[in-house]
Amino acid sequence: MSWSAGVSIDEHLQSEKGDVREVVAKNFVSSPWDREEFVSLLKWMRAYNRDHPGRTVNFLGHYSGAPAVDDAFFERVTGYVHREHPEKLSQLTELYSGLRPIDAFAYLNKPLAERRQLANKAGQALDLVSGISDPWVVQHARNIARTAEFLSVDAADEATVPEFMRLRDRVMAENAGWWQRQLGGKIFTSAHDNHVGYLAADYPVHPKTPGAFCVTFSVAATF
C-alpha cells in the first residue's frame, strides 16, 4: 500500500475517528486489499490499540503513491510550510503546480517529457523543504517526489523495466527503514516474495529487492 494511504489508515487506528469501512473504501479501492479480511485486520488493530494505550501498533504503507496522492496529502507539506516557513510557500506552490493532486492513471496520459519535468520539480520541492525540523513533513515531500519519479518511467519501453523495478523496491526499502528509525520496535511486512527476499526470482528484470537495499527490511520481513 502507498505511503499516503498508510498515513491515512494509521491516523484512523491511533484516533479511532471515522468508520473502518469508509477508511478501507477510500484507501484500498480497486486494490487486492479491498476485501473483508482487511476490514477485520483494521478492526483488530484498533481494538488492540484501545486495550494497549502504551504499546500501540501502527500501519505502514511503504509503496510509492500510486494510485493516487490526493490534495489533502499535499496539504500536509504546503500547510506546514505556510504556517512555519511562509517565505518558502510561493516557491513550493509553483513547484507543485501541475502535479497536485496525482491520479496515477490520468497522470500517465500526460506526455513522457511533461511527466519527467514534473518529477524534476517534485525533487526540487523536496530539496526546498529538506532542511525543516519536522521529519514527517520531509518524509511526505519525499514520497510525493518518489511517486512523481516512479510515474516518469516509460513503462512502454521494455528496456526501462529493470529501472522501474529497482526504483519501486528502493522506495519500499527507504520507507520501511525510515519508519523503523522513527518509531523503533519491530516491523511485520506483507509483500510478494520478490520484494521481501534478498534476491529476486526473475533477475535481471528485477535487479534489486528491498531486502538487498535495506537490512532493516530483510530482517523485519515475514511472508
Res 35: pLDDT: 86
CA distance from start to end of the chain: 16
Inter-helix orientation angle 135-150/112-129, to 10°: 170
Res 40: pLDDT: 94
Q: For residue range 104-162, list pLDDT tens digits in order.
A: 888 889 999 999 999 999 999 999 999 999 999 999 999 999 999 999 988 788 888 89
Q: How many residues would you count in the chain?
A: 223
Res 25: pLDDT: 86
Q: For residue range 55-80, list pLDDT tens digits in order.
A: 999 999 988 866 789 999 999 999 99
Tell me which of 112 and 220 has the higher pLDDT.
Answer: 112
Burial of 7 (0-12, 13-18, 19+ CB in 10 A): buried
Kindly provide the b/e burial profile for residues 182-214, where b requires at least 16 CB atoms within 10 angstroms of the residue's own CB.
eeeeebebebeebbbbeebeeeeebebbbbbbb
Residue with cell 529487492: 209
pLDDT exceeds 70 at position 220: no
Res 188: pLDDT: 83
- Residues paired with 63 in a beta bridge: 2
Residue 81 CB neighbours (<10 A): 23
DSSP 48-82: HHHH-TTS-------B-STTEE-HHHHHHHHHHHH
